[in-house]
């Protein structure tokens, strides 16, 4: 089976979906001849031309506004926001227009578009190229939010997102683009939206994570295994709709949960999972639901030392698991 990097899986899926369906277009800043700042769209302009691979001005509200317009008129746009940090000028378009299109039209219109956005820290990007913005969008009914952590899932989830008839926020962790490799079938497979993945079975503690943190959670589980602690790791994959059944079944089995995310701890996405477990699995818990997340500072510092201080790592996750296991 072919082995691909995370970014290769995304690029090849975009190409295959554009070949399969002439209504799929790509647009964004520098996505054309340049191939995108991370080269996610490299080669697409040469194959499909400027009518389907469209360079836009540096105006996120235009990128998303135009995508909404063409999506309700028969196309399936895949707009790229160059960095998730810059998505906020388009926030109103996404939240007030795209997310509510089907509801406000009583099902007359849908908005089939997939917004790709690189996110996350640990790449020396400092304040404006390191943010985790997923929690803002998981709050909004009408939006689906996807965060793949492996090349296999990146390919399968992107295919499902592009074919979905409603708007999807597809967040890609920048640090995974070329650091992670994995087997990716050439077949036309897809990974369903709304399904979590148990990446490591265990019996004593459940670790819940997504994106880069899903890899760090696996490393942490290996660390605590040396202490005799059996940790089950769940990669959420789709933040909304959330696979509550898999999460609850795991925590009912283990009795303990550690939730990991690199965003600021207060109000982060992991808080919603913590609330879910506290409300619906309370009788099964034998320790406090624990969060491991970024500190309460406005952004990821540029200094490498301070960036390391901000970022969650396997050792911090492992320490939280040890404390909870001993509770």
Considering only CA atoms, which of 236, 291, 290, 239 is closest in space to residue 265?
Answer: 291
Q: Mind listing the pLDDT tens digit for each residue in 231-245?
A: 999 999 999 999 999
Question: Which residues in the chain are classed under CATH 3.40.50.970?
Answer: 3-183
pLDDT at 1: 84
What's the average model confidence in pLDDT over 76-95? 98
Q: How far is CA 4 from the centre of its chain?
A: 19
The question of whether 173 is a catalytic residue gets the answer: no
197-325 maps to CATH 3.40.50.920: yes
Which of 129, 139, 215, 304 does the annotation list as catalytic? Answer: 129
Q: Mind listing the pLDDT tens digit for each residue in 16-51?
A: 999 999 999 999 999 999 999 999 999 999 999 999
Question: What percentage of the chain exceeds 70 in pLDDT?
Answer: 100
Give the span between the Cα atoms of 62 and 216, in whole angstroms.
36
Give the span between the Cα atoms of 267 and 261, in whole angstroms.
11
Q: Mind listing the pLDDT tens digit for each residue in 280-317?
A: 999 999 999 999 999 999 999 999 999 999 999 999 99
Query: Among all chains, which residue has been given the structure tokens 């490591």?
Result: 200
What's the average model confidence in pLDDT over 242-264? 98
Give the span between the Cα atoms of 117 and 130, in whole angstroms.
12
Question: Which residues in the chain are classed under CATH 3.40.50.920?
Answer: 197-325
CATH topology of domain 3-183: Rossmann fold (3.40.50)
pLDDT at 124: 93
């Amino acid at each position: 089976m072919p082995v691909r990097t995370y970014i290769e899986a995304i690029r090849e899926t975009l190409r295959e979906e554009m070949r399969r369906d002439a209504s799929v277009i790509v647009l964004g800043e520098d996505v054309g001849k340049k191939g995108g700042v991370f080269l996610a769209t490299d080669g697409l302009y040469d194959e499909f031309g400027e009518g389907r691979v469209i360079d836009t001005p540096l105006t996120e509200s235009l990128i998303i506004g135009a995508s909404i317009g063409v999506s309700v008129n028969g196309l399936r746009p895949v707009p790229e926001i160059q960095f998730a940090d810059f998505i906020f000028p388009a926030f109103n378009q996404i939240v007030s227009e795209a997310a509510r299109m089907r509801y406000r039209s009583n099902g007359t219109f849908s908005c089939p578009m997939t917004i790709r956005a690189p996110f996350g820290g640990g790449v020396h990007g400092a304040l404006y190229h390191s943010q985790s913005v997923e929690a803002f969008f998981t709050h909004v009914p009408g939006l689906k939010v996807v965060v793949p952590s492996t090349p296999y899932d990146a390919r399968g989830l992107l295919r499902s997102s592009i074919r979905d008839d409603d708007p999807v926020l597809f967040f890609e962790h920048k640090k995974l683009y070329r650091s992670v490799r994995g087997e990716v079938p050439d077949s036309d497979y897809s990974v369903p939206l709304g399904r979590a993945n148990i990446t490591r079975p265990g019996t004593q503690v459940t670790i819940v994570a997504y994106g880069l943190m899903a890899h760090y959670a696996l490393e942490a589980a290996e660390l605590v295994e040396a202490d005799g602690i059996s940790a089950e790791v769940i990669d959420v994959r789709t933040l909304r709709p959330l696979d509550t059944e898999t999460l609850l079944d795991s925590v009912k089995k283990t009795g303990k949960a550690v939730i990991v995310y690199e965003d600021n701890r207060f109000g982060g996405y992991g808080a919603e999972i913590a609330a879910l477990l506290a409300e619906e699995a309370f009788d099964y818990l034998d320790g406090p639901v624990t969060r491991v997340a970024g500190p309460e500072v406005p952004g990821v510092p540029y200094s490498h030392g301070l960036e390391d201080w901000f970022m969650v790592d396997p050792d911090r996750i492992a320490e939280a698991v040890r404390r909870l296991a001993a509770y």
